[in-house]
Amino acid sequence: MSVWSARVEGVVTLPDGRRVRGRGLGAGPPHGDELPEYGLYLIATPPVDLAWECHWVCWPDFRLPRSSADAIAAIEAAYERAASSKVEIACDGGTGRTGTAIAVLARLAGVPGDEAVRWVRANYRPRAVETPWQRRFAARVPLSR
C-alpha cells in the first residue's frame, strides 16, 4: 500500500496530511502509476468492473445521495483508507459530487463545516460543490467522528 504523490493530477492534501484524488470518470481511465488502490464512485449507476477495490454510492448528477447515511459511511471509510492507500473519489465530471465528498473529507480532517466548501474550492476545483443542496450537505451532514 502507498499514498498519492502530490504531483498526480487531482490529488488533494487534506489538512491532516492525508491525500485523496478527485477525478471525473468522463475523462477516461487512469493509467500507469495513477491507478488507485481503492475508489469511491458517486454515480447514478454502478461502475463497470474495475481492476481495484471500489465502493459505489448511488448519487445522481446535481443531486444528493439516495442514502445520506450510506454516503457518509462510505466517505468516512475512504477517509480512513487514505491514511495508507491511494484513494480516489470520482463522479462523472469530478466537480459537484466529488467536490461535495472532498468537502466532507476536509471536515473529517478538521475543517469547520461552514468553511468546507470554501476549502475544497481553494484546494481542489474552484467550481466544486455545484448546487445549494450539495453546499448544505457538505457543511451540515452529521458525521460519526
Q: Which residues of the chain have pLDDT under 50?
A: none
Pairwise CA distance, residues 97 & 34, whole Å: 21
How far is Cα 36 from Cα 3, in angstroms, rounded to an integer?
9
pLDDT at position 43, please? 97
Tell me the pTM. Answer: 0.96
Domain ranges of the chain: 31-140
CATH number, domain 31-140: 3.90.190.10
Selection from 80, 81, 99 nearest residue 89 by Cα: 99
pLDDT digit string, tens, across residues 108-127: 999 999 999 999 999 999 99
Give me the pLDDT at residue 84, please.
Answer: 96
